[in-house]
Structures are given as C-alpha cells and as structure tokens.
Structure 1
Amino acid sequence: MLVLRLILESFRFAWNALKMNLLRTILSLLGVTIGIFAIISVFTLVDSLEKNIRESFAFLGAGVIYVGKWPYTPDASGVYRWWDFWRRPNTSYNEFKFLQENLSSQSGISIYARRGGVTLKRGSNSLGDITLIGASTGYTDIFETDIEMGRYFTVTEIESGRNVAIIGSNLASALFPRGESPVGKEVKLSSLKFTVVGVIKKEGESFLGTPSNDDNCIIPYNSFRKIYQTGTGAWDEIESNIGVKGMENDVGLVELEYEITGLLRSKRGLKPKEKDNFALNRPEAIANAIGSVFDVFGIAGWIIGGFSILVGGFGIANIMFVSVKERTNIIGIQKSLGAKNYFILFQFLFESIFLSVIGGAAGLVLVVFITFIPMGSMEVTLTLKNIVLGLGVSAAIGTVSGIIPAALAARLDPVIAIRSN
C-alpha cells in the first residue's frame, strides 16, 4: 500500500509539474524524446532490414547442409580460392544414392539441378526466361514448396523420369490465362510434352529479389538428366547439388557434417592426407555474415542516440532541481508530519522516472509513424523488444537524473524547509 501510495502521489506531482510548466517540461523532455527516437528508430530499421534479408534467403531452407562444388564463403584467411574449386568434380546422382542409403543422421535428402533461361510453351502461349529445376525425392523436405493445386511427384515418377511437371503461379497465369486449372494439362519443354501435376502457391517478390517458385518449373531429376548433362564429367554439364536436412537433436548439425564428410571422402577415394574436393555449405553462414554487419549499425544507433539521451538526462535533472526548490515548503510540512526520508526520496525519484518515461513514450510514438511510411517491398515493424528497450532506457535515464535531486530533498531539515519561501 505504501509503494502504491508513493507511485500515485509521484504521478500527481509529475502531472502538476507538466501542467504548471508545460513549455519548460516539454523542452526539457525533448532530449529524451529525440534520443529514444534515434536509438529505437535505428534498431527498428536495422531489425526490419535484417528480418527482410533473412526472409529473402528462406528459399535456402533451415537446418540444411548443401553438398556441392563451390563454397558459399571464403576460407578462414578471407581468400576465395576459385582456381582450386573449379577443378573439383561435380556432385553426381550416384553419390546422392550412396548418401541416401548410408546417412543415418538425416531427416531428408535430395539432389537437384537448375537451368535458367528456359522457354515453356502451351499452344500459342509461351513464356521465356523461366528457371527449370530437376528435383528428386525429398526436395519438399529441404525447400518450401507449398502446392496449391495438385500434388508433388510420386517416387515412381521420379525414379523412372516421367514427363511430369510442377509449375509456379506466374507460369500458371501466363500459360492458362482463362482461369482453367493447369493440373492434367500438357506443356511443352525442349520439344518434349510434360503433364502438369501441381501448381505452387504464389510467393511474391522478396526484399532482395531472391529466387521464388513463382517463375519456376520443377520436373523429376531423372527427366532433367534426359535433357541436360549432369554429373558426367563433361565440361559443359550443369552442376548438381545435394541438400541434406539434419535431425532436430543434432545441435549445430555437427554429427551430420562429420558423417557426410566421411562417407563422401570414402566414395571419392580420397587418401587421409588429401583435402576435401567438395564443399559443405550452410545458409547460416550467410545469416552470420549479415548479422555481423547489422551489429555495426546497432552500435552506431547507440552512439547517435546516446548524445541526445545525455542532453535529455541533464534536462530531467534540471526539472527535478527546480521541482525540489519549488516544493521545499511542502517537503518540510511532510517531514514534520512524520514522512520518512525514503518517502521523500522515492517521491521525487518516481516523479523523475515518470517524466523520463513520458519523453521516451513520445519518442516511440514517432517511431510508430515511421512504420507507416511505404518503403517498397521492405516491411518495417516495431517489435515488442524495442518498445521494452525504449521504455527501459527512459526509466534508467530518469533514475540516474533524479537520484541526486531526490537525495537532496530527502536530506532537507524540516524546520528550515518550512520557513523557506
């Protein structure tokens, strides 16, 4: 009850200070408002930018290791040794079957290959520059493939390399403009007829314009091999990659990585002292690189807003010193009626925190207005974490700024305080 009484009384005094000296209070709180706005707006934009970029790379999947020829990132020394990587053999279908049969720490595995600039036709309608993907079983375990109409390939269709296809929403709209269902209809690809068995749900454009399934056509991997060379050792062949999804209990996919490395080295006949002639890539490597860049922006936000908050802290302290001076007589009366020092201390301290939080809340309101500004495909969101951070920093500034004036008020002699004008 005492704490509640202290808080209510502090709110009342703070509100009176706001009403009686509105201009002075607003100008003093402006520093806190600008500081919180600067910090939280930077954090909001950075968090939103990072979120949009990470979502743009969602097509790579999560908890997956990709086996291929080229690594995603440079080595530990920062050098990308392309002159060594291009000599490596491409991943083959036999290696995929070998890993599929022998890997025990995987929850999904698929081999796939891509070819851009392909033309898909249906009657007089044609669509060029699409991406053709040859996919095996387990492809939907690795990549998000939300089938809106129809189904995915059966094991028989994949193994036998039947001419069936799954098309993206943009292809369905362009090749079937009258709204008819594409499922069961035929399309033409490289002079071959393929029956559409599924249509992928529309995904839309990502922030970075990374690949989506809207303009993709997926066919069985063995059908893809009938059209293009893969894993044959020819110089003009299309590179295939193997995606392996780890188990939930394999933290960091350490066990899966060791198992893939051992099996693939054995399959390729590498000697113990020979280096790996394949790359094990993870989407987390890209995410970590992105995160380290945004950490720098976060530090910059603290520096930019820190100076404004420092000025705001002095403004809050100035208000509290003036408030103590104006209410010295009231403090003397309260102490003469039995008010303890801690009651006076907390009364002014709570008032300082309340005023500072008002300034911080005003800064957060300004940040909310930023979220309504259109920024193309980037979606800006003020998260609960940043709201709590803004209010927390405001409360901390109010505590630091009000502690000295509150301590001076608590130590006043009641007799001298009552006699003051």
Structure 2
Amino acid sequence: MIFLKLIWESVLFAMQALKSNLTRTILSLLGVTVGIFAIIAVFTLVDSLEKNIKSSFSFLGSNVVTVNRFQFVGGPDYPWWKYFRRPYSTYSEYTFLKEKLRNAEAVSFSAGANTTVQFGSNSYKGTNLTGVTYTYKDVYDVPVQKGRFFTESEINGSRNVAIIGEKVANTLFPNSEPIGKEIKIKGAKFVVIGIFELEGEGLFEIASKDEAAMIPYGSFTKLFFVGKNGIEPSIAVKGLESDIGMIALENELIGSLRAKRGLKPTEEDNFSLNKSEFIMNTLGSIFDVISGAGWVIGGFSILVGGFGIANIMFVSVKERTNIIGIQKSLGAKNYFILFQFLFEAVFLSLIGGVTGIIIVYGLTFLQLGSLELILSLKNIVLGLGISSIIGIVSGIVPATLAAKLDPVEAIRAA
C-alpha cells in the first residue's frame, strides 16, 4: 500500500514538473510526435490499402484452385509462347473432374465476356457477363439481394434467365422493378430473376458484381464462341476445409488432368493451377516492404525524439538537484526519485505519441475516393507501446543518476 502511494506521489511530481516547463515539454515531444505519426500513418495506410485491394480480389474466392493456360503469379521460367500453345479447358474436363475428384468440395465451369445489356432505350455498356454452371454457387460466393439464383433445370436447359448487378439494374430500370422484366443481350431476350448485392467501389474495379450479369453457361455459348480461338473458359475447384494448403487437391487435380489429356509421364503439364492464395501472398509481401519503409522513416524521427527527451531529462535532473537532496534528507527512497524522473520521461513520450495518433485519426476523415482509411486498435496500441518504450529508454539513465545522488552533495549543489 505504501509502495503504491509512493508511486502515485512520483506521478504527481512528474506531472507538476512537466507543467512548470511547458515550452520545453512541447519542444521535447515534437520528435516523438513526428515519429509516431510517421509509423502509425504508414501502417494505417498499408492496412487500409491491403484491406481494399484484397476486397477487390474477393471474386477469386477462398480455398479455390482454377485451371488455366497461364500462371497468374510466379511460376517456373516458362517461354510465354508455350502458354499460348496450351489447350483450353473443356466442358468434358469439367464433368470428368466433377465425378473424379475426391478432395474437392465443388467444381464449376464458367466463361466471361464484356457486352452491352439493354432494356428499351436504356443500355449498360461494359457489363461483365458470365456464363456459369449450377455448381458455380458452391465454389464462389454469389450474394443475391433480390430474387434468386438459377435452378438446376434452368442451367441444364440453357434457359434465357439472368441475374444482374445493382448498377446495371439502376441504369436499365431507374423507376421500376427489374425482377421479371426482359432484357436484351446481343439481341437475345433474358428474363431477370435476381439482383446481386451492392458491393460498392473498390480500389480496383475488377469483376465487380455491381456491373455484372450472370446467365447459364449453355445460354452463354449461344451468344459467344467459347473454346479454341474464342473465349477461354475456366474450371474452378473448391478444396475441403480439412485439406490445409490444398496439397491433396492439387496433387489429385494434376493427376486427373494429365490422365484426361493423355499426357505421357515424360511430358510436361500443359495447364496451370492458380490459387487465390498466390495473389494474396504476393500482395502481402509487397505490403511488408512498405511497412518496413514506415519503420525506417518513423524510426529516425523517434530516435531524434528519444535523444531530445533524454537531453531534457538530464537538464531536469541538474535543475532539481537541490530538491532531490531535500527529498532524500526527508526520507525519500531511491526508487521514489527514480520513478519520479522515469514517469516524467514516459509521460513526455506518451503525450507525443498520443498527439501523433490523434493527427493520424484526423487524416482518416479525408476523402480519398474509394480508399477508406481506418485507424485500427492494433495500430493505436502499437503507437502507445512504442511511445512508452521510448520514454523508458530515454529516461532510465537520467532517472538512475538522480536516484543515486548523495543527499548532502545534492543540497550543496544549490
């Protein structure tokens, strides 16, 4: 109890010292403020960018492997012209894998193209039209806000039905209900049976459901030429949750495709397997580099701020040497003097850190288009933690010197 009381008195002494030298206090905390601001601002920007970009790539799905001719990210040193000689995925391969794979939760087949969707005199150009199989909803998230997804009979019968995005719906039907209305795609009539949930703008407008339309795969092939020298379709396979890293699925998929395509053991694969994790990991490594740059930039500022606090604390010890002698002669313990100056250094650093965090928080209200800055609790705690450490490191030596002063010599210093 006495120990806590002494600590509290040390805190009061430290706060009083900071108030009595307000100008010096403000100048001392500027370095820490700039340093914490630099680090937390970079981390906030990186976190916000990462969240926004990964959201833009959410269409890739999670735990999904796609079969394509090209490798999306990385891959072996392979001549680009050989990629173009590879065969397209086929519908028969899709049905084969759907029946064959045992380590897959679902397999889907799809193809996409940009086109214009019309209703009366209204039209929406640049619509991302996708033709899908019924299992598409089992591989990817298909959020339907109004209406419904396709029935299996509609997919198998290649019915002319469509699900459209929010922007497409608002453009084609500004004052009416889209469900049940007929739209035209390349001259063919399609009945609208559903509206996708609004995704909103992302940093990269890639495959946004707001500007998309979806129809059965069979209906898509009536409008566009799919296959060799035409639109390239894609096979997507969703792995089991128990298959960590989808290793078993990938091995089974490679063996099944090689068997289906009649590849000899000595022949190389004529397909690429792309995981959504490839892109996410690449993005993560880029953001790690940016975060490292933030540490370097902010680190120099904090280092300068730390030296500033240490210098001020040495001056403070010099100025209050007489008071330290009086306190010791009245029975003050060494740790009481130590805590007094250590708390002063920590408070000084924390004030600078909190100020830097407040400035970063103010920046989150700036309008940066589709990029929304978010100051996370993790970054706030990080900023306060760094400030506390800088305060302790900067103040420990001056505080130790003050605690070890001889009371008689300290009083004579007046």
- The question of a shared fold, defined as TM-score above 0.5 by the shorter chain, is answered with yes
Quote how far apart the aligned CAs of 1:3 are: 5.2
Matched, 1:227 2:223: yes
In structure 1, the residue matched to 2:183 is 187
Paired residues, what number?
414
Deviates more, 1:358-367 or 1:41-50: 41-50
Q: What are the equivalent positions in structure 2 for 1:70-149 lying under 5 Å apart? A: 70-76=70-76, 79=77, 81-116=79-114, 118-149=115-146
How do 1:297-376 residues align onto structure 2 when only pairs under 5 Å count? 297-376=290-369
Please give the per-residue CA displacement for 1:108-163, whole angstroms capped at 9, x wherever unaligned.
321110011x2222233333332211011222233332111110001111112111
CA distance in structure 1 between the aligned counterparts of 2:3 and 2:382, rounded to whole angstroms: 24
The equivalent residue for 2:198 is 202
Equivalent in the alignment of 2:64: 64
Give the residue type in structure 2 aligned to 1:103.
Answer: L
2:263 aligned residue: 270
Which deviations, in whole Å up to 9, do the C-alpha atoms of 1:292-326 show, x marking residues without a partner? 22222222212212221111111111221122223
* C-alpha separation in 1, matches of 2:123 and 2:289: 47
Matched to 1:175, the amino acid is L
Identify which range, 145-154 or 128-137, moves more after superposition. 128-137
Structure 2 unpaired stretches of 5+: none
- Closer, same or farther in 2 for the Cα pair 1:229/1:60, shift >3 Å? same
1:172-209 Cα shifts (integer Å, max 9, x gaps): 12222222x22222222233222211111222221122
- Report if the CA contact (8 A) 1:360-1:394 is conserved: yes
Contact 1:74/1:80, CA 8 A, preserved across alignment: no
Q: Quick check: 1:321–1:405 contact (8 Å CA) kept in 2? A: yes
Q: 1:211: which partner in 2?
A: 207
Q: Which amino acid aligns with 2:221?
A: R
Q: TM-score, normalised by structure 2?
A: 0.95
Q: Which one of the candidate residues 240, 243, 250 is aligned to 2:243?
A: 250
**Helix, strand or coil at the partner of 1:11:** helix
Separation in 1 of the partners of 2:91 and 2:283? 33
The gaps in structure 1 that reach 5 residues or longer are: none
**In structure 1, the residue corresponding to 2:117 is in which secondary structure?**
strand
Q: Is the 8 A contact 2:325 2:411 kept in 1?
A: yes
Cα contact 1:68–1:278 (8 A) shared by 2:
yes
Aligned-CA RMSD value: 1.8
Of 272, 283, 290, the residue aligned with 2:276 is 283
- What CA distance in whole angstroms lies between the structure 1 residues aligned with 2:86 and 2:222? 23
Measured in 1, the distance between the counterparts of 2:49 and 2:78 equals 27
Cα distance in structure 1, aligned partners of 2:220 and 2:87: 19
Contact kept, 8 Å, 1:122 with 1:188, in 2: the verdict is yes
Q: Secondary structure at the match of 2:258?
A: helix
| Amino acid across the alignment from 1:86 | F
Q: Provide closer, same or farther for how the CA distance between residues 321 and 2 of structure 1 changes in structure 2, counting only shifts above 3 A.
A: farther
Task: Identify the residue that residue 392 of structure 2 maps to in structure 1.
Answer: 399
Aligned to 2:47: 47
Identity in percent: 57
Amino acid at match of 1:224: F
Superposed CA offset, 1:73-119 (max 9, x none) = 2424xx46320111111111111111111222222321110011x22
Q: Counterpart amino acid of 1:184?
A: G
Moved more, 102-111 or 376-385: 102-111
Structure 2 CA distance, aligned partners of 1:25 and 1:136?
68
Assess if the C-alpha contact under 8 Å between 1:121 and 1:187 holds in 2: yes
Q: Which amino acid aligns with 1:243?
A: A
When normalised by structure 1's length, the TM-score is: 0.93
What is the aligned counterpart of 1:241 among 234, 244, 261?
A: 234
What's the counterpart of residue 167 of structure 2? Answer: 170
What is the alpha-carbon distance in structure 2 between the residues aligned to residue 9 and residue 251 of structure 1?
A: 56
Distance of 2:151 and 2:216 partners within structure 1? 9
